[in-house]
Chains A and B, each alone.
Chain A
């Protein structure tokens, strides 16, 4: 099945929330954000803004009807800052006007005085200041300190890992409508309707059932709308509630980039010990997470970093220290991979550095340490259904890794300023929320008299294909055509207490719930079919291609007739399914347990060419063997792998998120923040799904696919480095990302002084 919305997307007929015709008298809100990154608000003058013609209201913290506090894990954030601001762009006031232009113009009339406090943008500095979101924590296995003496090589280093802007094409937005009896209907571009409801419950002082959140689709989310969509929805809701008018709030791109959090930058130290054969004996890593101003999801992100610290390798002695450090940046948040990518980048850096010191190719060390069935992760879980080595071997064979090595070697011998490089990147990513209670899903399935089917789940369609998957799962479980199934908007009145669409788990949780719902309805249908066909054992009945079969043989009874008969016989044609992932547990205090239902494995081979004169580079190819279990819709699944790869490649290379020392985002627009385009991505992009794989936890045997492939992109960093070392073998290259053309060129030529007065030291030969 193709993406269920694609025929609408290509016609421009899909409705995103502000494409729906506006209700009459709808007003528009604009957000006034703090002009400075840290300070106490001394005064806030809203009068001039209120006086602008067309302005209906201007609100500040004191207008928040309920308790002015929210946060998904730790409630440390205000909807509108009351007395203190902690990052540039932090919402302080809301202007509501007849048009968005008037609202923005009036926003310019707001006067604020802030007495500045010291600004911290570096997590290590925050750490030194003792400013954490949560106390530092350590998780370990074995005895790292004792292991060093058994190692033939001990290598230390550090990494500076850049953040990443989500660049969902559709910026944050929400539209709220007042309803009778102080109820609200909020259309929001959110991955987490329940989080929005819960926050609105406290901030607006309304019972949760009074707040209906509805989401048809998102123009991209990638984690950026998991938690950070909440505030905009509540703000629109607050304005609508107070003014009793529909209110829409749409951030433009500049506002969105300035005000919303991103992937966390990390600063990390590593120490790795190996024997002479390249077997890793010990690994010690410290993660200093740049959490930004408020807690948001940072502690959960960091948890995932910790448990992905060893990627797909078995290491007997491991110690991981992790600390979420508070800085004066927008609160960093979920982004596809959710802390996993940073962890994997560090272990790969450690392996590469060890390889350089030992004079052994990195891929040999990688290959010698791949996880095998039954080995333990340092957090206590034993790996099951492990296909790490299979994907690695298959990638090496299918993509002729040996041939590539030879080809690259001879290319590099023949060329001076152009060098090629390659890297293999294995991934092992755990599936389930590390927060236990989120591992549940709900589905509501209706079968209508005409045989058409409506499915509502807690999953949000953000392009990833959840609706497509739900339609497939419902249709295949019923035994009917996918065209009969409509997937409804995600709505809190139909599904309560939904988990965010995140952690790659949306299809698993909601798909399994859908199967449970369908099975309840099927049970009744089969009863009617058995009576109708005079069959004693309804267990013999199956629906195949919309025809009722008995023991595999087709009968005359069709789906449509069966549904009508069931309705007339007052059988249940609607059901609600609830699914909770079995067998998982995780002790957040000790960092030990069985947090994941299963792991996703795969291997990517990347080849690059670096122009060592200009510092620019091309990605020649990325070739992947990915374990997806049994794919539900290969086109959709492949799209997930390729799209995630693109984001991973971008994160490692050109996506250069920059803040200055005052906490101002310099890469503030799509003109200064560049995401991968059609020329950046390699034409030679291969995705092979590992054959004969299965997964008992996934609906129809599938494996989660949203996040894991992003980490294939990490390979490009090491491929580039590999090429750079061919040009400049003696250079000590940093492990700092992103590896922009600037970094490449500066690293390649870092021993060269260019300031005219010191020209004699230059590499330019003074013959």
Chain B
């Protein structure tokens, strides 16, 4: 039986037998001839291809902007896919009008994607439409023409003009009522429920467990082998049940492997367990990519510089791997064995990440330095968990990414500090030990010397942020 995907594209239900691994971007432009969605980079870095994906959550549909250049068509099963065309009304919508009036479009190539994300911002009740909100919404967009000031002003206009909608309990319906969104949005929940009653397939893609590619968020996979996936057997992991969600079990949190970065960052339990989490997530990827990228993908991708991995290492996370009915647990710190080598059989699926509930009094920090602060890959990233008991180091976890073939915890540094009073002298000594534990190389993200220096600087950054009463940056620079 030919593989099919059934979903709603803007206002109409479509059923297609195009491959599950085909990119939504290519499907839109080449099958549907809907050319408002643009290809700028095909790696999630420019946002020109942004679409909204709506999913049923209870009675209503929640919309999230994602980059269609990293989005497999199979993922659309039972979803609502909204393109810029689907946001058009007879007259310009408030978003469109505001951009026009403020001069927020020049060559226009990035504009449809920006219109989509700005609508996504309006539709998301958890987001304010203010300066911070618009920057959040545009975090995954490149505009090479405007300098963004006009787009920021457009958001200010919107916030004024749509004040009532934005303060309404149900933003979506009030936006429809205010003719800021097309009427058909009101029909979508019922239409999606209808599709859910009669799915055309299990949604797993054509390949079962013998698939060539297992796609979670796809945000790294498509960048690496995007040209091969459309013709291959794929398995869309997001359709597997039970791999999402965060729950507290005994002394740890069970985090479903398919939890997205955005879900992780928005989760109240995680926010409580990791104070400052929002600020850390700000440094990671973009809104669109965080809506797709999963924790398991970040771990299994085994990048030496995975941001979530650096955080999870410091949190002493463990991985739950499953093969059939067999389950085993591997500490994340022992999972990586060499560059892109893992303690995992090909048939094993990562189902959960176990994060111990941090002891009360334990402090956590994440640091990342990259060329550009947002949506950039780190030169060096680092997580630190520090628990001082009466001034003595009770627990110390210090992860570094970008300074070795794998992301890792600095064992000797930790060993040295454990049980010691955390003095300036000890900290200085620890920095030296750290330097002996790392082996950075020159690459496009920086020279080895730079990464060495960063390892030291970020250690100081951690300590001065976690123990401001104990350490000041100045303490480490008396020579000046």
Contacts and interface: CB of A to CB of B under 8 A. Distances in A.
Interface of A: 2-3, 5-16, 18-19, 21, 101, 104-105, 166-171, 217-222, 252-253, 416-417, 462-465, 613-616, 635-636, 638-639, 642-643, 645-647, 654, 656, 658, 666-667, 669-672, 674-681, 683, 685, 727-728, 740-742, 745-746, 749, 752, 754-756, 759, 763-767
Contact of B99 (A10, A677, A755, A765): A10
A605 B243 CA distance: 53
Interface of B: 33, 35-43, 45-46, 48, 83-85, 88, 92, 95-96, 99-103, 105-112, 115, 131, 134-135, 138-139, 141-152, 223, 227, 230, 367, 369-377, 379, 424-425, 428, 431-432, 435-436, 443-447, 449-450, 452-454, 456-458, 460-461, 464, 472-474, 476-480
Q: Which interface residue of A104, A465, A685, A741 has the most chain B CB atoms within 10 A?
A: A741
Contact of A167 (B92, B106, B144): B144
A169 B144 contact: yes
12 contacts: A11-B112, A12-B83, A169-B46, A416-B473, A613-B473, A614-B369, A672-B377, A677-B372, A742-B447, A755-B435, A765-B476, A767-B425
Contacts of B142: 167, 169, 670, 675, 677
Nearest to B374: A679
B478 to A, nearest CB: 5
A741 B436 CA distance: 24
A189 B286 CA distance: 29
A679 B146 contact: no
A613 B435 contact: no
Given A19-B35, A745-B457, A170 B103 contact: no
A9 B135 CA distance: 21
Given A13-B36, A253-B42, A614 B457 contact: yes
Nearest to A2: B100
Contacts, number: 270
A615 B43 CA distance: 27
Given A104-B227, A222-B144, A670-B43, 8 more contacts: A6-B105, A217-B107, A253-B41, A253-B43, A416-B472, A639-B147, A746-B447, A754-B456
B413 to A, nearest CB: 12
Contacts of B134: 678
B419 to A, nearest CB: 22
A381 B51 CA distance: 54
A463 B145 contact: yes
Contact of B106 (A643, A675, A746): A643
Contact of B107 (A218, A672, A766): A218
A264 to B, nearest CB: 19
Given A104-B227, A658-B444, A756-B432, A613 B460 contact: yes
A697 B298 CA distance: 58
A746 B450 contact: yes
Interface centre among A12, A15, A101, A218 (most CB of B within 10 A): A12
A670 B41 contact: yes
Contact of B371 (A169, A643, A741): A741
A727 B146 CA distance: 33
B103 A3 contact: yes
Q: Which of A11, A642, A645 has the most CB of B within 10 A?
A: A11
B41 A463 contact: no
Nearest to B33: A21
A570 B467 CA distance: 87
A16 B109 contact: yes
B152 A683 contact: yes
A9 B424 CA distance: 58
A742 B92 contact: no
Contacts of A674: 371-372, 376
B221 to A, nearest CB: 14
Nearest to B379: A742
B42 A2 contact: no
Nearest to A105: B227
A749 B373 CA distance: 21
Contact of A642 (B84, B149, B452): B149
A666 B431 CA distance: 31
Contacts of B149: 642, 681, 683, 685
Closest 5 CB pairs of A and B: A12-B36, A463-B107, A219-B109, A9-B108, A642-B147
Contacts of A679: 135, 139, 372-374
B43 A669 contact: yes
A717 B107 CA distance: 28
A12 B147 contact: no
Contact of A635 (B103, B374, B480): B103
Contacts of B111: 9-10, 12
A666 B40 CA distance: 19
Contact of A745 (B39, B150, B454, B479): B454
B432 A759 contact: yes
Nearest to A5: B108
A567 B334 CA distance: 85
